[in-house]
Structure 1
Amino acid sequence: MIAEHDHALCLRRSGQLARADELMREVVDLARQLHGPRHPAALFVVADYASLLREHRDLDRSWTLADRVARDYADLLGNAHPFSVGTAGNVGLTLWESGDRDEALRIAERALRGMTVAMGADHPWTLGCSLNVAGARSLVGDPEGAAGYSRDCMERSARAVGSAHPLTLMCKAALAADLRSLRQTDAADRLRQETLGQLVEALGVNSPFTLAVRQGERPYWDFEPQPE
């Protein structure tokens, strides 16, 4: 089951969403049959499927699954566990996509506070939550606040995981978008081009993330709980 799940994630990350959806549905059904719907071995698969549905723009089903998974993790592990915090943050991403941006910001900020307590300020999961706060602030019309979070996240990520790590590059792409919103177009263009060059080197020219940044899409971070 783990191999099939990982294959579905690879398909998703390579942009093959239809095939990923088909395989992930099979994995979800198998995990629930083997372990029961509220077992951690099933919940981590369902969490990833909810994220896939969000990318597929099936927002109602995505929200339903993401919210259920977050509640089940909280019941099983407690509200302060990083899996509970991270999956609750994923619910905010669905609201981000559906247009409830004020609530998405509140959820993102709550996830950042919780992950900071659970994992520390410079853990990659915490940095991912910080990136999502930057995105949520941008969506509610606070480009200066967004840029502050993006820049801080970029700098801390570079120290924690390296300047060429995909997480750091996501933060750089976010900062470039924020600078453009602040009408600092020359700086935004330079940072975007630099980031694209690094993405091509790190992930390839046809990576969905490379293509998304090239098309001007704002990056966000999905929490992916791990099997225990």
Structure 2
Amino acid sequence: MGQGHPAELAARHDLDNALFEKNQLPESEDLFRAVLAGRSTVLAPEHPDTLVTRDRLIGTILLQERFAEAEALYRELLEDMVSAMGGEHPETLGTRIDLAYAVGMQGRAAEAAGICRDVVESGSRILGASDLRILDARDDLAMWVNDTGDHAQAERLCRELLETELHILGPDHLLTLSTKANLARSTAGLGNVDEAEQQLRAILTQLEQILPAHHYRTTHVRRLLSQTTTGRLA
């Protein structure tokens, strides 16, 4: 089996996913670029597997905080995904959520919230309201609504989502913990800083026990905690 064989490319893709989950982002980016070159040649640029690899590659760029670069690449990818797989394909919906993150991290929270809201509305019809991608989109929606300063609406969104997550995923799932952190952020924004700090410290302790120290989820909660304790949370 040669280096360009589809099965070998799939194995390298899986290895790269493992590096991605370990937050080894520069190494992951290099490997995804190599796999993308192989899949573009062997499978064709518009093949779904090639498009998925492009998405994963851009994800490594996003998590290295190259947000403008990631946004441009996501917009190009989405055009190809819609053409090849359709606008409501699960992979397309996931890429739209990631685009929202790239947009929001450049200070355009309202635009990011709008993208997530559209994903929730259209994706719920196709995938069902309990699909993990839809729950993820709802979590990000609450995060961006918080960023717009509407902490009361964000609090409501978080509480509604938590009820579903606790039932489906349990209290210790990473997405549940993310929503708890977003809820704590809302709590701080509404003036209950001490309560929010206590909640964030508890969430951070859980994350540090199960994730690498510099994992993006852990880093995000640390940032929220720092903002809360220094009184800089809007």
- Fold conserved between structures, TM > 0.5: yes
What does residue 5 of structure 2 align with? Answer: none
Is 1:84 aligned with 2:92?
A: yes
Read off the aligned partner of 1:78 and give its amino acid letter.
G
What does residue 73 of structure 1 align with? Answer: 81
Quick one: structure 1 residues 187 and 96, their matched pair in 2 at CA, closer, same or farther if it must change by over 3 Å? same
Is 1:7 aligned with 2:12?
A: no
Correspondence list, 1:1-228, <5 A: 1-201=9-209, 203-204=210-211, 206=213, 208=215, 209-216=217-224
Q: Aligned pairs, how many?
A: 217
- In the aligned structure 2, how far is the partner of 1:62 from the partner of 1:43? 15
Secondary structure of the corresponding residue to residue 22 of structure 1: helix
Following superposition, the deviation at residue 59 of structure 1 comes to 2.6
What does residue 225 of structure 1 align with? Answer: none
Quick one: structure 1 residues 210 and 63, their matched pair in 2 at CA, closer, same or farther if it must change by over 3 Å? closer
Residues 13 and 207, structure 1, Cα contact 8 Å, conserved in 2: no
Which aligned segments of 4 or more residues in structure 1 are displaced greater than 6 angstroms? none
- In the aligned structure 2, how far is the partner of 1:189 from the partner of 1:206? 20
Residues 205 and 211, structure 1, Cα contact 8 Å, conserved in 2: no
- In the aligned structure 2, how far is the partner of 1:106 from the partner of 1:205? 31
Secondary structure of the corresponding residue to residue 224 of structure 2: coil
Higher-Rg structure is: 2
Task: Give me the TM-score of the superposition, normalised by structure 1.
Answer: 0.86
Following superposition, the deviation at residue 110 of structure 1 comes to 0.5
Following superposition, the deviation at residue 25 of structure 1 comes to 1.2
- In the aligned structure 2, how far is the partner of 1:169 from the partner of 1:2? 31
What are structure 2's unaligned runs of at least 5 residues?
1-8, 227-234
Read off the aligned partner of 1:206 and give its amino acid letter.
A
Quick one: structure 1 residues 205 and 107, their matched pair in 2 at CA, closer, same or farther if it must change by over 3 Å? closer
Read off the aligned partner of 2:90 and give its amino acid letter.
P
Residues 86 and 115, structure 1, Cα contact 8 Å, conserved in 2: no
Q: For CA contacts below 8 A with separation 6 or more, give which structure has more relative contact order.
A: 1
- In the aligned structure 2, how far is the partner of 1:132 from the partner of 1:215? 16
Following superposition, the deviation at residue 44 of structure 1 comes to 0.6
What does residue 230 of structure 2 align with? Answer: none
Following superposition, the deviation at residue 124 of structure 1 comes to 1.2
